[in-house]
Amino acid sequence: MVVAIDGPAGVGKSTVAHWVADTFDFFNLNSGAFYRAMAVKVLDAGVNARDENDVITAAESAELDIIGGRLYLDGIDVEDRLRTDQVDQWSSIISTIIPVRHIVNRHLRRIAGTISLVAEGRDMTTVVFPDAEVKIYLEADPLVRARRRFQQGTSSRSLEEIENSIRERDHRDRNKKEGSLLIAADAVVLDTSTLTLAQVYEKVSGLINSYL
């Protein structure tokens, strides 16, 4: 069974997907982490994120694996390098490059195999797992998302800078030639600006239970 969850940056997808995966003992596939690991690969290779051909070459040679719930790039655990401001920005830029999306999608489908999973990202419900049994789209006001990110204390930026960066990433996410952020016709839409993440979790769990 596949539970696919999409939505913009900072909407609470990862938290909800993690809780749901724990509850139902499903594999948690965080597709954003794969774009982030590709950004780390590009950074370490000394390639400029806007040099498409060099980015594609670097992405092609990246070996990605999940071991013990942590993401490994070329045999090294990079989980602790994925959430910096620079990786936020670079992963957003390189995710607009179509061949990079195809490379990431290949990794996602290989790792997903035939196990039950919760897959979250931008195009899980539409492109990567269009036959998912449960599809959810989470949304929230950009300012609410920026406040949440600010309160996490993991960014060195001001609230206003975070909000601007979120709006910039939303714009890129919604204007991709492929894998753009869209609401699948058969997705259940939940607005997390007016719900706590615990309430979102309850609703998503309810949808899975009614399917099971």
Q: Which of residues 152 and 209 has its CB atom nearest to ligand DC in the complex?
A: 152
Residues 26, 134 contacting (CB under 8 angstroms): no
Q: Is 22 helix (H, G, I), strand (E, B) or coil?
A: helix
Helices (H), 25-75: 31-44, 52-60
Q: Which of residues 92 and 192 has its CB atom nearest to ligand DC in the complex?
A: 92
Contact pick of 81, 107, 122, 148 for ligand DC (by CB under 6 A): 122
For ligand DC, the binding residues in 13-42 under the rule CB under 6 A are: 31-32, 35-36
Q: Output Rg (C-alpha) for the chain, integer angstroms.
A: 16
Q: How many residues contact ligand DC, by CB under 6 A?
A: 15
Angle at alpha carbon of residue 123, lines to 119 and 128, rounded to 5°:
65
Q: For ligand DC, which stretch binds (CB under 6 A), given 18-26, 90-98, 139-147, 184-192?
A: 90-98
CB of 92 vs ligand DC, minimal distance in Å: 3
Q: Which of residues 26 and 129 has its CB atom nearest to ligand DC in the complex?
A: 129
Is 121 near ligand DC (CB under 6 A)?
yes
Is 9 near ligand DC (CB under 6 A)?
yes
Q: What is the DSSP letter of 47?
A: -
Residues 193, 114 contacting (CB under 8 angstroms): no
Query: H or E stretch including 70?
Result: strand 70-73
Q: For ligand DC, which stretch binds (CB under 6 A), given 46-54, 64-72, 89-97, 135-143?
A: 89-97
d(CA 127, CA 137): 14
Q: Which amino acid is at 119?
A: A
CB of 155 vs ligand DC, minimal distance in Å: 12
Q: Which of residues 47 and 93 has its CB atom nearest to ligand DC in the complex?
A: 93
Query: H or E stretch including 71?
Result: strand 70-73
Give the interface with ligand DC as residue ranges (CB under 6 A).
Answer: 9, 31-32, 35-36, 91-92, 95, 121-124, 169, 173, 179
